[in-house]
Amino acid sequence: MNKEEQVIMSLRNMLSKMDLLNNFKMKDSLKSYKAFEVHCIEYIGKNADSNVTKLAESFYVTRGAISRMAKKLIKKGIVESYQKPNNKKEIYFRLTEQGKAINKIHEEIHKEFHERDKAIFEQMTKEQFDSMLSFAEKYSKHLDGEIQEVGLDIGNCNKFE
């Protein structure tokens, strides 16, 4: 296996382990909610005037997928929709009190993840961080180019549905 393959396999392996641990904790604390629901709640909680388009772009899913998710969250009483007085066309989302409570639990879990992983990051130098961030940015841009070249619409990556 060459170095490139080793890097990709190591990243996949690391992310799979992180996903396994994180999902185990999330399912324990937020068992009534799917991961995509929780991440939509998080996005809405962190971003004022969230709407279908912004959410779809953020998660690389279709606006239809977000519309369906929003309807579910509204029905569960977690999110409410609203319009601005000067813009009756656009529909925005905000968290209800129940949604804020779920988001708070989610934030606490992320703090636990941070504490769990803190020891490894404390060992890293600024140069190591810079190198890793540079690689991630370059690789992401490369993938963006590949996606564009084959004509994929990233908005149609419905991995969360």
Q: What are the residue ranges spanned by the domains of the chain?
A: 3-156
Secondary structure letter of residue 125 according to DSSP: -
Cα–Cα distances (Å) from 8 to 17, 60, 83, 132, in that order, read 14, 22, 44, 13
Q: Residue range 133-139: average pLDDT?
A: 94
DSSP calls for 75-86: HTTSEEEEEETT
pLDDT at 14 over 60: yes
Q: Which amino acid is at 4?
A: E
Place of tokens 């841009």: 141
pLDDT at 33 over 60: yes
- Of the pLDDT bands very low, low, confident and very high (cuts 50, 70, 90), residue 153 is low
Q: In what order do the strands lie in the sheet with 79-84?
A: 50-51, 87-95, 79-84
Q: Residue range 37-46: average pLDDT?
A: 95
Give the per-residue pLDDT at 157.
Answer: 52
Give the per-residue pLDDT at 43.
Answer: 96
Residue 25 structure tokens: 């904790």
**Model's pTM, two decimal places?**
0.77
- Of the pLDDT bands very low, low, confident and very high (cuts 50, 70, 90), residue 24 is confident
Torsion angle, CA of 40/73/102/114, rounded to 10 degrees? -20
Residue 73: enclosing H or E segment and its boundaries?
A: helix 63-75
Higher pLDDT, 152 or 116: 116
Residues 70-122: tens digit of each pLDDT = 999 999 999 999 998 888 889 999 999 999 999 999 999 999 999 999 999 99
Secondary structure letter of residue 59 according to DSSP: H
pLDDT at 35 over 60: yes
Residue 145 structure tokens: 């180019």
* CATH code for the structural domain at 3-156: 1.10.10.10
